[in-house]
Amino acid sequence: MITAWQQRLWLSTILLFAVAACTGDKAVPLTTVGTPGWSTDVIGVDEVHLSVNYWIDREAEPDAVLAEQSDIEVFVRNAFEVDPSMVDLATYPETLPGTRVAQIIRSLSKPSSYPLSFRDGGLVSDDDYARYTAGIDLPRVAETVDVRFGMVVERADMRTWPTSDIVYKSVETIDLDRFQENGLFPADIVVVLHESADGRWYFVQSYNYAAWVRRDSIAIGNREEILEFQHAEPFLVIAGSRVTTNFSPLAPAVSELKLEMGTRLPLVDPDTVNHNVDGQNPFASYIVRLPTRTVNGALEIRNALIARSQDVRVGYMPYTRRNVLHQAFKFLGERYGWGHSYNARDCTGLVQEVYKTFGFALPRNSGQQGSSPIGENIRFSPDAPAEEKLATLAGAEVGDLLYSKGHVMMYLGMVDGEPYVIHDLSGSGWTDTDGNFQQGVLNGVSVTPLRRVNTSPEATYFEEMYAIKRLR
C-alpha cells in the first residue's frame, strides 16, 4: 500500500528532476571562519549549522505531534511481530532446545572472515580462536536450557567472544574494536542462555541483540518481577545524553550511576518512603527504582534519587520535530564509539537512543534497520540516478532516517538545494569544489552535507544511500 508520504515524494521527484538539471550538483563552499576559536576543514559546514535552533526555525510547524503515544505503541508491537531481529522478551519461552542455543551462539562467536590484529600488531591466530572457542564451552550446553531473566546494573559491553581482548582490522583505525558488538545500559532486560567456561561471562539476548556480557553486570531475577519493572507506571525517561543519580553514602550501587538517553525507570511515590531516601528528602528530586546485584548475583531493586535539575521527563516526550532535533543535537560533538564503546555510541546507537525517548524500539544494526519493513519506507535501486534521490529528499522530513551501506543518518533539511544530516561516524573525507577526494577525520556526532561527505574515496554517503525510513 502506498502511503500519502510516498505519493508526495514521488510527485516531488517528477517536479524536481528539472530543478536538479538546471542547478547542477554545485559544491557547498568551505567555511573556515566562525566565532573566535571556531573553524572547520569540513566542506559545506558553517557554524550556524551546529545550532539546533537554526534547524528548528526552518520548520513551519515544529511542535506538531507526529504520532500519538498510542500510535507509537502500535508501531512497537508491529515491529516485534514483523522484524526477525527484534525479540519480544515478554513472550520468550521458558526453555529452549540446547541445539537452538548453540546455534545462536555459533552465529556470533566464530572466526572472522578477514585478518584481525591485536594492539601490538600481532595477528589473531588459529590458536587464539581455539582459545576463544574453548571459552564459549558449547559442549556444556544442556539438552534443554532453562531461560533465566536478568537486568543490567551498569553500562556493559556486548562482545563477540567471552573476552576483553581488543582486536582491529589490519587496515583500519584502532577506534574500531572488532570484538565489540553493542552496549547495554542500567535497567536493560536480558535473558541469560549460557555461561562461559570460566564463569565470568553470560551469553544474553536483549530485545535486539545477542552476545557475551560480563557476568558481574547482570543480576538474575524473577521473570514476572522484571517484566513488571519494564512496564511500570508512572515512569521517568532519561532525556539528556547522560544523567547521573544523586550521591548516596548508603547505597553505592546506585550512587552517581550514569544513565543513558531513553532509559525508562519506574517512579516511586515519596509518601511510601516517608519522604526519606538514604538520608535525603526527595522533594527536589525524583525517586526511581533501579536494579542492583547482590554478592551472589541476585537481583535487588533499590530506590535512588535523580535531581529535578537533571535532563529527565515524566513519561515519554511528545513526538515532534522540535523534540527530535533537540534530542539528536544533545549528542553533537560526542566522540564516535563503535558498538557503544568509549562510553559513547555509533550511528545506530545515536538513532536508537533519540527515538527511545519517544517510546520507539528499533533493530540494532543499520542493515537491519534499513531493510526492516517497519515504518514508512522509500527504497532506491542500486542504479537510481542522483536526481531521483535528491528530488525524493526534497519531500523528506526532519528526523527521517537515511540509510547508506553500513550507516544511518538523520535528515535535517535542505539548504540551498543541499541535503544536510546529523550522524555519528568515524573516519571520513569529502569531495572538494574541484571534485577531488580529501581524506579527513570526523570521528564523532557531526552535522554535514550529505552529497559531499564520503563513505570511501570512491563514493559519498549520498551515492550509497539505498533507503529512507519514516517512523510512523
Cα–Cα distance measured from residue 387 to residue 22, given in angstroms and rounded to the nearest whole number: 11
Torsion of CA 90, 93, 95, 101, to 10 degrees: -90
Could you please report the per-residue DSSP string of 79-107? Answer: HHHH-TT---GGG--SEEEHHHHHHHHHH
pTM, two decimal places: 0.91
Q: Provide the H-helix boundaries in 143-198.
A: none
What is the model's pLDDT at position 27? 36
What is the model's pLDDT at position 30? 42
Q: Do 341 and 334 contact (CB within 8 A), yes or no? A: no
Here the cell at position 237 is: 525517561
Cα–Cα distance measured from residue 460 to residue 358, given in angstroms and rounded to the nearest whole number: 31
What is the model's pLDDT at position 260? 98
Here the cell at position 291 is: 536494579
- Give every residue of the chain whose pLDDT is below 70, as ranges: 1-34, 171-172
Rg over CA atoms, the chain: 23
Taking Cα atoms as reference points, which of 207, 329, 182 lies closest to residue 264? 207
Say how many Å lie between the first and final Cα of the chain, rounded. 15
Cα–Cα distance measured from residue 104 to residue 157, given in angstroms and rounded to the nearest whole number: 18
Q: Which residues pair with 410 in a beta bridge?
A: 401, 422
Burial track 232-263 (b if 16+ CB lie within 10 A, e otherwise): eeebbbbbbbbbebbebeebebbbebebbbbb
Q: 325 by DSSP, 3-state: which?
A: helix
Cα–Cα distance measured from residue 140 to residue 424, given in angstroms and rounded to the nearest whole number: 40
Q: How many residues does the chain have?
A: 472
Provide the residue type at 228 as one letter: E
Here the cell at position 435 is: 571534485
**pLDDT tens per residue across span 328-352:** 999 999 999 999 999 999 999 999 9
**pLDDT tens per residue across span 230-247:** 999 999 999 999 999 999
Cα–Cα distance measured from residue 213 to residue 201, given in angstroms and rounded to the nearest whole number: 6
Cα–Cα distance measured from residue 95 to residue 240, given in angstroms and rounded to the nearest whole number: 38
Burial of 15 (0-12, 13-18, 19+ CB in 10 A): exposed
- Residue 40 DSSP code: -
- Residue 277 DSSP code: B
Q: What H or E segment, with its residue span, contains residue 218?
A: strand 218-221
Burial track 88-110 (b if 16+ CB lie within 10 A, e otherwise): ebeebeeebebeebbebbeebbe
For each of the domains in the chain, give its residue range(s) and CATH number, in order of start.
Answer: 4-83+318-470 (3.90.1720.10), 92-223 (2.30.30.40), 232-314 (2.30.30.40)
Distances (CA, A) of 135 to 122, 124, 178, 190, 202: 21, 16, 18, 21, 11
Cα–Cα distance measured from residue 317 to residue 359, given in angstroms and rounded to the nearest whole number: 8
What is the model's pLDDT at position 34? 62
